[in-house]
Amino acid sequence: MIRDLTDAEARAALPLKWELPDVVPAWVAEMDYAQAEPITEALVDAVRRGALGYPPHGDDLGAAFSGFAARHWGWDVPAEASVATGGVVSGIRLALEVLCPPGPVVVPMPCYPPFRHAVEVTGREVVPIELDPESDDASLDLCAVSRAFARGARTLLLCNPHNPLGHVPSRAELAGLAALAREYDARVITDEIHAPLVLAPLGAEERTFTPYLSLDDRAVLVTSPSKAFNMPATHGAQLVVLDPADRARLAAAPIPAQNTWSSLGIVAGTVAWRDCDDWLAALVERLTQQRTLLAELLADRLPKARMRPLEATYLAWLDLRAYGVDDPAEAALAHGVRLAPGQDYQPGLTGHVRLNLATSPERLERVVEGLRAALDDGGQGTPRG
Ligand SMILES: Cc1ncc(COP(=O)(O)O)c(C=O)c1O
């Protein structure tokens, strides 16, 4: 059911990811797989009908998302809580501007880089909470959050599940955050774009995804089916807010401050949330196999690499400091492999990369082999032959 794109198809379908000739891309978060057939059919049908006008205010995305949340997470969220927006990142910016007080914003690090940028473009200060790279535990440091709130921050950006750490926060961890948010009257903006991508359990303990909004009704959920269903350019994301007064504030934002969403994004997103469960189940199985393969390849070719337990997403976070190369992503590029540099996710953090494993087994092997060659030559960048 999951169809691998050939190199030529992937270059045409994912032009940003595949922009460099003769390079195997494992950087930006797009998958080298064809999208689900119901999405293709719905988009083709919409284009044939000429459905290219502005999308209506009351669209079907909210109801489709509610159905998905009930089926997958046993969570009852009203359809009318969803407010369409262009993308998750622009939705975060809108939530910061419209629903959050001015002032510092807590951002756990490493983080998806646009988190920091969204805070900065709204004229706010980032208060980083850095994970100790030595620590095995990727949970949120609630003591540090408490200190940041005590010093005056009233907003926190949560990534649930976490990109790039692959961590699925436990219910207890999120409940701890919710208790702090209540104590300090702070607002949590929770990006849950990766929520459908929780992989098979790694050990005895199953990590299930908990919607943060189910524990903290003042939070702002920002999500989109675009990541799990591999259609980031369709632009049909949503903010989910439970308080009607908050929704009214979002609706009242002037048009230049809003993020125009796309009628085709609404069509694709509605079908994704509603009609693609079988495809998603096959995808999660496939990504779980890719995770196993990556672990085997690393054990064989890069035994000193430390991969964080990848509980969710297809983005593996690798600690390669044992190889003594500051920028392994730059070194790998000289060997025909493009990875995402760790310092993009946490400025100053050397020796880390984020590796996108959502590709074919053959390409994944080429990625690990390129990285091995780069680290073996000490990052000297021996030109490719
Ligand atoms: C955590 C996270 N949020 C948001 C996005 C991007 O969302 P959008 O393209 O809708 O802005 C990504 C993309 O990889 C992501 O990993």
Residue 200 and residue 288 in contact, taking contact as beta carbons nearer than 8 Å = yes
| Ligand 1 touching residue 317 (CB < 6 A) | no
| Ligand 1 touching residue 213 (CB < 6 A) | no
| Ligand 1 touching residue 234 (CB < 6 A) | no
**Cα(220)–Cα(242) distance, integer angstroms:** 8
| Ligand 1 touching residue 237 (CB < 6 A) | yes
What secondary structure letter does DSSP report for 4?
Answer: B
Do 239 and 354 fall within a single domain?
A: no
Per-residue pLDDT tens digits for 30-84: 999 999 999 999 999 999 999 999 888 777 999 999 999 999 999 999 999 999 9
Query: Is position 83 within any domain?
Result: yes
CA of 104 to the centre of ligand 1 (A): 22
User: CATH no. for residue 290?
Assistant: 3.90.1150.10
Place of tokens 């009607």: 244
The end-to-end CA distance of the chain, in Å, is: 37
> Given this model, what pLDDT does residue 384 score?
46
What secondary structure letter does DSSP report for 81?
Answer: G
Residue among 88, 119, 355 to mutate when testing ligand 1 (max atoms within 8 A of CB): 88
> Given this model, what pLDDT does residue 258 score?
77
Atom of ligand 1 nearest to the CA of 91: 11
How many structural domains compose the chain? 2
CA of 155 to the centre of ligand 1 (A): 19
Query: Is position 313 within any domain?
Result: yes
Do 284 and 366 fall within a single domain?
A: yes
Do 102 and 227 fall within a single domain?
A: yes
Domain boundary among 239, 255, 276: 276
Per-residue pLDDT tens digits for 120-139: 999 999 999 999 999 989 99
- Tally the C-alpha atoms within 13 A of residue 316's C-alpha that lie toward its C-beta: 27
> Given this model, what pLDDT does residue 380 score?
74
> Given this model, what pLDDT does residue 383 score?
47
Longest dimension (CA), the chain: 62
Q: Give the mean pLDDT of the chain.
A: 95
| Ligand 1 touching residue 190 (CB < 6 A) | no
Domain boundary among 222, 252, 276: 276
Over pLDDT 70: what percentage of the chain? 99
Per-residue pLDDT tens digits for 326-373: 999 999 999 999 999 999 999 999 999 999 999 999 999 999 999 999
Per-residue pLDDT tens digits for 272-314: 999 999 999 999 999 999 999 999 999 999 999 999 999 999 9
**Cα(362)–Cα(197) distance, integer angstroms:** 22
Per-residue pLDDT tens digits for 252-276: 998 888 778 899 999 999 999 999 9
CA of 381 to the centre of ligand 1 (A): 31
Do 109 and 199 fall within a single domain?
A: yes
Q: What are the angstrom distances between the C-alpha of 206 and each of 71, 190, 202, 286?
A: 18, 22, 8, 18
| Ligand 1 touching residue 89 (CB < 6 A) | yes
Query: Is position 328 within any domain?
Result: yes
Do 162 and 238 fall within a single domain?
A: yes
- Tally the C-alpha atoms within 13 A of residue 165's C-alpha that lie toward its C-beta: 23
Of 370, 385, 375, the C-alpha closest to 23 is 370
> Given this model, what pLDDT does residue 382 score?
53
Instruction: Please indicate, yes or no, whether the overall pTM of this predicted structure exceeds 0.95.
Output: yes
Per-residue pLDDT tens digits for 188-244: 999 999 999 999 999 877 789 999 999 999 999 999 999 999 999 999 999 999 999
Atom 13 in ligand 1: which residue has the minimum CA distance?
A: 29
Do 322 and 214 fall within a single domain?
A: no
Do 271 and 283 fall within a single domain?
A: no
| Ligand 1 touching residue 193 (CB < 6 A) | yes
Do 227 and 96 fall within a single domain?
A: yes
**Cα(294)–Cα(290) distance, integer angstroms:** 6
Query: How many other CB atoms sit within 10 Å of the CB of residue 37?
Result: 14
Do 298 and 232 fall within a single domain?
A: no
Q: Which residues contact 152 (CB under 8 A, 6 or more apart)?
A: 103, 104
Do 287 and 338 fall within a single domain?
A: yes
When pLDDT is averaged across residues 2-20 and rounded to a whole number, the result is 98
Per-residue pLDDT tens digits for 135-158: 989 999 999 999 999 999 999 999
Query: Is position 222 within any domain?
Result: yes
Q: Which residues contact 52 (CB under 8 A, 6 or more apart)?
A: 263, 264
| Ligand 1 touching residue 225 (CB < 6 A) | no
**Would you say how long the chain is, in residues?**
385
Do 60 and 159 fall within a single domain?
A: yes
User: CATH no. for residue 253?
Assistant: 3.40.640.10
Alpha helices by DSSP H, listed for the chain, are 7-13, 37-48, 61-73, 88-99, 113-121, 142-150, 171-184, 244-251, 263-275, 277-301, 328-333, 361-376
Query: Is position 381 within any domain?
Result: no
Query: Is position 383 within any domain?
Result: no
Q: What are the angstrom distances between the C-alpha of 150 and each of 153, 163, 180, 209?
A: 7, 26, 10, 28
| Ligand 1 touching residue 329 (CB < 6 A) | no
Query: Is position 2 within any domain?
Result: no
Atom 14 in ligand 1: which residue has the minimum CA distance?
A: 29
| Ligand 1 touching residue 94 (CB < 6 A) | no
Do 345 and 207 fall within a single domain?
A: no
Range of the domain at 330: 7-34+278-376
Domain boundary among 276, 306, 325: 276
Atom of ligand 1 nearest to the CA of 315: 16
Say whether pLDDT at 381 is over 80: no
| Ligand 1 touching residue 157 (CB < 6 A) | no
CA of 223 to the centre of ligand 1 (A): 9
CA of 16 to the centre of ligand 1 (A): 15
Query: Is position 1 within any domain?
Result: no
**Cα(46)–Cα(244) distance, integer angstroms:** 31
Q: Which residues contact 253 (CB under 8 A, 6 or more apart)?
A: 94, 97, 98
> Given this model, what pLDDT does residue 385 score?
39
| Ligand 1 touching residue 228 (CB < 6 A) | no
**Cα(69)–Cα(76) distance, integer angstroms:** 7
